[in-house]
Amino acid sequence: MAVSRTQYIYEQLDLMFPQAGCELNYGSLFQLAVAVTLSAQTTDVSVNRVTRELFARYPDPESLAQADIKDLEAIIRSIGLYRNKAANIKALARELVENHNGEVPDTMEELVKLPGIGRKTANVILSEGYKVPAIAVDTHVHRVSIRLRLAGENDTVEKVEEKLMEQFPREQWSHLHHLLIHFGRYRCQARKPQCEGCPFTDFCRCQADK
Dist. CA 157–CA 143, nearest whole Å: 10
pLDDT tens digits, 185-204: 999 999 999 999 999 999 99
- Is it the case that residue 164 has pLDDT exceeding 90? yes
Dist. CA 201–CA 148, nearest whole Å: 9
Q: Are 46 and 185 in contact (CB under 8 A)?
A: no
pLDDT tens digits, 121-158: 999 999 999 999 999 999 999 999 999 999 999 999 99
Give pTM, 2 decimals: 0.92
Task: Say what the pLDDT of residue 2 is.
Answer: 57
Q: Which domains does the chain have, with CATH numbers?
A: 29-129 (1.10.340.30), 135-208 (1.10.1670.10)
Dist. CA 151–CA 9, nearest whole Å: 13
Q: Are 160 and 148 in contact (CB under 8 A)?
A: no
Q: Which residues are catalytic?
A: 120, 138
State mean pLDDT over 47-66. Answer: 98
